[in-house]
Amino acid sequence: MGLTVSGGTEFPPPAFIACSARSGSSLLRWLLDTHPDIACPAEADVADLVDRATKTARVLDTSQLDEGSPIGSVSEAMAASRVFVEGLVHDYLAARGKSIWTDKSLSNASNLGLLATTWPQAKFILLYRHCMDMVASGLASQPWGLRDYGFGPFAAMSPNDTVAALIGYWLDRTGRMLAFEAAAPERCIRVKFEGLVESPAATIASVLEFIGAQPRPGLIDEAFSAAHDPYGPSDHKVWHTDGISTLSLGSGSRIPAERVIGPLRESVNALLGQLDYELVGDSWGSCGELPQFSLPAMSSVDLDGSPKGSGTSTWSPLGDRAGKVEEPTNVGGRKFGDMAVVEVRIAGGKEVIWSARAELHSASQIVGDVGSAAGGVGGGQGASTQVQAVIVVERPVAREIRDGFKNLGEALKERSVRIYGIGPRNFNEERAWMAGLASLLSRSPDFDGV
């Protein structure tokens, strides 16, 4: 049985989109709404309306006065809510000349069972996004505080850690969606944000088939010129967009792995694993495996000055070498602080598009073969070169550095340039490293077209 209104008109069953915020639901809405048979308005929060009606029914149900069950009144409240909503939907569909109603409210993810009971024939489009990318988007969209999109309660639970707050939100919404999907797989289709932007035509084709709509060639090209209902909450960027972009893929690579540790990381990885996403490990954001890090031989002393011998140092996630300070020694005629052998990786999303092992100093030079997405990271003779760090540079920022338009300190702070391994020990060394990086990029093969 589909959606039936008081006039007797019957429409196909509705489809509800459930997702975390910042997961591409506005893009999905625009694509579906472009179809000549599908209406997907802004967030109407139908689930909240039904939820409030049933809560009111439970409180005011007179059968409770006789210690009876409120189930009858709750069912009546659901039915009344459905009739009320479907009356509004009928008028909306008629005004737009469409027949299939879809709803993309953020409240859907928290009320999947309620929606499924109220509309027994409804279908559910479960839209997922990698946790770290969702967190990065959440941070970017809420620079003045986590107040919108349902983030507030989670920010209140983690007032000093916005990353943990947003991860808590993602865990809650994603956990609910996965549980519902497991309980009612025949009513659900799983869609990933990554697939939506990388293969939009194929993704939308599968969604249209699932909800019973006819195929629509050219829908992707039409979506950004078609008219859409401008009222109600929506993504702040989609109205100023003229096409689908993959630039946000991998945006969560900037989030330091050490901000997601212990039980929090275990919980995140448990859900990421169920969704076949990349797990969060100590090398998160490095665009590949990390080598064994080591320094040229140097003498080490404790902080009190007592000798500790010499040797190499290995990597820790934080680059921490607690309890020691290093006395620079001459390496090839230069002090250690003036030169470092590192692997530089230019990142396009989560992929390495160009790499080389190089000496960073005032006359930086490549000491290992250049790699690429085809050739692998650190390929060729350079793979045997010992390095003390890996420096990942995001491609747009690499261009800015190369052309002299980027403040390197800002790049390090925002982690569009990020260092793994044994990094600079002070700001003088950091400045020397960054000067060497800029010199290297200014004289390196062009990576724009890779």
133-188 residue pLDDT tens = 999 999 999 999 999 999 999 999 999 999 999 999 999 999 999 999 999 999 99
pLDDT at 309 over 50: no
Q: Would you state the pLDDT for residue 370?
A: 45
What six digits make up the tokens of 148? 């919108």
Of 324-333, 355-364, 412-421, highest mean pLDDT: 412-421
| Domains of the chain, residue spans | 3-128+184-243, 298-442
pLDDT at 304 over 50: no
Q: Where are the alpha helices (DSSP H) in 162-285?
A: 162-183, 193-198, 200-211, 219-222, 262-274
pLDDT, tens digit, for every residue of 402-449? 888 999 999 999 999 999 999 998 998 899 899 889 988 887 766 655
pLDDT at 337 over 80: no
Q: Would you state the pLDDT for residue 311?
A: 35
Question: 20, exposed or middle or buried, with CB in 10 Å at 0-12, 13-18, 19+?
Answer: buried
Q: Would you state the pLDDT for residue 109?
A: 97
Angular region, 247: left φ>0, alpha ψ -120 to 50, beta rest: alpha
Under 8 Å between Cβ of 401 and 441: yes
What six digits make up the tokens of 219? 């829908």
Q: Which of 275, 250, 237, 19 is nearest to 133 (CA)?
A: 250
Q: Would you state the pLDDT for residue 361?
A: 66
Q: Provide the mean pLDDT of the chain.
A: 83
* Least trusted range by pLDDT, from 172-186, 311-325, 362-376, 420-434: 311-325
Q: Would you state the pLDDT for residue 316?
A: 34
pLDDT, mean of residues 344-373: 74
Q: Would you state the pLDDT for residue 85?
A: 93
pLDDT band at residue 8, thresholds of 50, 70 and 90? low
Q: Would you state the pLDDT for residue 367?
A: 62
Question: 325, exposed or middle or buried, with CB in 10 Å at 0-12, 13-18, 19+?
Answer: exposed
pLDDT, mean of residues 238-253: 89
Q: Would you state the pLDDT for residue 147?
A: 92
The share of the chain scoring above pLDDT 70, in percent, equals 79
pLDDT at 328 over 50: no
Q: Would you state the pLDDT for residue 266?
A: 98
Q: Would you state the pLDDT for residue 327?
A: 39
Q: In terms of CATH, what superfamily is 3-128+184-243?
A: P-loop containing nucleotide triphosphate hydrolases (3.40.50.300)
pLDDT, mean of residues 313-341: 42
The share of the chain scoring above pLDDT 90, in percent, equals 60
Higher-confidence residue of 174 and 307: namely 174
Under 8 Å between Cβ of 86 and 10: no
pLDDT, tens digit, for every residue of 24-70? 999 999 999 999 999 999 899 999 999 998 888 888 876 554 555 55
Higher-confidence residue of 232 and 167: namely 167
Higher-confidence residue of 347 and 67: namely 347
Q: Which of 200, 226, 236 is nearest to 34 (CA)?
A: 226
Question: 85, exposed or middle or buried, with CB in 10 Å at 0-12, 13-18, 19+?
Answer: buried
Q: Does domain 298-442 have CATH number 1.10.540?
A: no
pLDDT at 233 over 90: no
pLDDT, mean of residues 210-217: 94
Q: Would you state the pLDDT for residue 441?
A: 87
pLDDT band at residue 219, thresholds of 50, 70 and 90? very high
* Least trusted range by pLDDT, from 286-295, 325-334, 350-359: 325-334
Of 67-81, 241-255, 284-298, 375-389, highest mean pLDDT: 241-255
